[in-house]
Structure 1
Amino acid sequence: MKTILTALYTVLAFHISVGQGLTRDMKDTEDQLRASTKQINQFFRRFNGEEDENGKRYYASDKRYRDPSLRKKYMPVLFDVQTSQIDPVQSKAFIKRITDKRGPAFLDFHRDHWFAEVNTIFKYKGRQLSGTLYMRLQAQGQGYEWIIDDVAFSQFKKWFDKDTTETKKFIHPMSHELGFMTLRKAFKNNEHAEQFTGRSFQPDFLTIFLYELNQGNLEFVSVKNMNFHFFAIDGYYFSLSNFNRPGYNSGWLISDLVPLANEDQKQQMLDYIYGKN
């Protein structure tokens, strides 16, 4: 009888231990899910100090709304600390800048200082084609809407390759005396008529994209991934990427942070993102 009771106690203790382990695992999982910044809107709220550690919303009437101490606590966990190469000194300076009591900085969802980079797959005349759509918010009526601001397709760039020195053609400077009949020779069997444009010529890929889409040559397939770019904080650029992984450092996190000394550096960063350089 004693042996049977001992066995029963052992089984019961085992189940209690397993149950406690499951409870701890569930609690840990719950904490991780709560810590994960699952939505872009949530990132805005956490960045601004408009949400507490448990996900409770704060409004302007709440005492802790945009509280500097809350923001200082939240901001470090809004950075990707596992894979990014962000300088810790820069991130601390950034947090100090946006939480400065004399002039704190916040993100406004509707201000035109951030945009989306959407990496997509299309079909072009039956074959797969990767391309990037740059999206931004625009006021519309009483609300807002996302619009396509620009596009980048490697295939489009190949169509307009001005670096064709081996086959360089030109329109003779005396062509006007011949009624520009030299155009016939220039355009014949020429795949790069952009040679005859000015040095500052840049093709409008958005117009080409819309034309091919309207003609039925381009067909949307899917979105591969997306990133968000922010220029809302004076003196800084940062990007937002999604990290789908276990642990507390997951969800939408700051993946890149770059100080910008002036407007020229800001324009250089924009040109880089849009593939203009």
Structure 2
Amino acid sequence: MRLISLIFALFIANIFFVSGQGIGSPGTIKDDGRFAASTKQVNQFFRRFNAEESPTDGNVRYYPGDSLYHNRALREGFIKVLFDNQTSSISSDLKESFIKNVLSADYPQYLNFHREGWLAEVQADFFFKGKRETATLFLKLQPEGLGYEWVIDRVSFPPFKNLFNKPVGNEKDFLHPLSHELGFMNLRRAFQDSNLPEAFTKSSFEPDYLTLFLYEMKQNNIKFETVKDVKFHFFQIEGWYFEVNQFNRPGFNTGWLISNLVRLNPGDKETILKYIYDQE
């Protein structure tokens, strides 16, 4: 059985995968269901990316010591069908460069479920003071006891967007450096006379929207309704960023697939993270 699987893996590794998975006439793919079945779970995405499950039976796992565990040819075949090959605009050249980088004989790279470098983005509906609003929650894994847990790391919530508008430069009001000689009685300017008390905070001040979100929830002003959408952002592959979304559609190019791929230059990771967190 292992020999048959390996021969099959080597065969599919040399096929150019396009929209509508399966093996057909030269340069085309048909739906035959032998390999490119839906990646139904995020955990399965990890296993396929790393070549840790059978290409013919997703219930068969490969572990260290198995002949096909992390097999390079098998990984290449898997990764090619882990892209959204129907709607994304990722070029073939970029995909091939990514795959070549990941499968490097000198420095192969793998995904690790428990390692830092990936996060979940969850769109969820809440009722805020009687009005339906969509919040974007960012979750990360953290160790807990003998295992791990998902925790909310940040939140983006439209009603909070304009709550703080700290002025800068000549427009910024301030407390005189000799305010201490007055017993700081001029704090009245910050707390009573000003509509922008954030102007009197340190230059690096950034509002903690997650604390504010949880406070409003504890005051029963925010009530959870439902989850609308989930996606994942990956930075675990050195020099690359990719996004994974769920696609529910006919055919075999479905499930959790790579929908966006970016080659990273110095500083790009920080720029992308800022965009992800400040996308409103």
The TM-score, its normalising length taken from structure 2, stands at 0.80
Change (3 A) 1:33 1:76: closer
Distance 1:33 1:192, change over 3 A: farther
| 1:265 equivalent among 264, 268, 275 | 268
Which residue number corresponds to residue 132 of structure 2?
A: 128
Aligned-partner residue type, residue 225 of structure 1: D
Structure 2: gaps spanning 5 or more residues = 1-29
**CA apart distance, 1:168:** 6.0
Q: 1:190 to 1:246 in 2, by over 3 A?
A: farther
Q: Which runs of no fewer than 5 residues in structure 1 stay unpaired?
A: 1-27
In structure 2, the CA distance between the partners of 1:163 and 1:130, relative to structure 1 (3 Å rule), is farther
- Percent of aligned pairs sharing the same letter: 48
For the residues of structure 2 that align with 1:68 and 1:247, how far apart are their CA atoms?
26
1:14-48: CA deviation from partner (whole Å, max 9, x where unpaired): xxxxxxxxxxxxxx988299611111011111101
Evaluate the alpha carbon distance shift between residue 176 and residue 246 of structure 1 in structure 2; reply closer, same or farther with a 3 A threshold.
same
Q: Deviations for 1:96-127, whole angstroms, at most 9, x for unmatched residues?
A: 11112222111111111211011111111221
Whole-angstrom distance in 2 between the partners of 1:231 and 1:241: 15
Counterpart CA distance in 1 for 2:156 and 2:52 is: 36
CA distance in 2, matches of 1:123, 1:191: 27
AA of the residue aligned to 2:129? K
Please tell me the residue identity of whatever aligns with 1:232. Q
SS at match of 1:107: coil
The match for 2:21 is none
SS state at 1:111 partner: coil
CA contact (8 A) 2:31 2:252 kept: no
From 76, 81, 95, the equivalent of 1:77 is 81
Change (3 A) 1:180 1:171: same
Where does residue 50 of structure 2 map in the other structure? 48
Cα distance, 1:214 vs structure 2: 2.1
Normalized per residue, the structure richer in helix is: 1
**Are the counterparts in 2 of residues 125 and 218 from structure 1 also a CA contact under 8 Å?**
yes
Tell me how far apart the structure 2 counterparts of residues 208 and 179 of structure 1 sit (CA, whole Å). Answer: 30
Cα distance in 1 for residues equivalent to 2:217 and 2:195: 22
Alpha-carbon offset, residue 160 of structure 1:
0.9
Cα 1:82–1:53 change in 2 (3 A) is: same
Give the distance between the partners of 2:90 and 2:160, measured in 1 at CA.
Answer: 33
Report the equivalent of 1:140.
144
For each residue in 1:131-183, what CA deviation from the matched residue of structure 2 results, as whole angstroms up to 9, or x when unmatched?
Answer: 11111111111111111111111222211122599x96444555445443333
Partner-residue secondary structure (3-state), 2:214: helix
Mapped contact 1:121–1:128 kept (Cα < 8 A): yes
Write out per-residue CA displacement over residues 185-207 of structure 1, whole angstroms, 9 at most, x where no aligned residue: 44336443112223321111121
**Residue 113, structure 1, aligned to residue 117, structure 2:** yes
The reply on whether 1:203 has 2:203 as its aligned counterpart is no
Q: CA deviation at 1:52?
A: 2.7
The secondary structure found in structure 2 opposite 1:270 is helix
Give the aligned partner of residue 216 of structure 1. Answer: 220
Of the structure 1 ranges 182-191 and 44-53, higher mean CA displacement relative to structure 2 is found in: 182-191
- Greater radius of gyration (CA): 1
- Counterparts of 1:38 and 1:156, CA distance in 2: 35
Residue type of the partner of 2:40? Answer: K
Alignment of 1:1-277 (within 5 A): 31=33, 35-56=37-58, 57-60=60-63, 61-163=65-167, 169-172=173-176, 175-188=179-192, 190-262=194-266, 264-275=267-278
Range with greater deviation from structure 2 (205-214 or 168-177): 168-177
The alpha carbon displacement at 1:72 in A equals 1.1
Which amino acid letter does the alignment assign opposite residue 270 of structure 1? L
For 1:255 and 1:113, locate their aligned partners in 2 and report how far apart those are by CA, in whole Å: 18
Q: Which residue of 1 aligns with 2:6?
A: none
Work out the CA distance in 2 between the residues paired with 1:172 and 1:113: 44
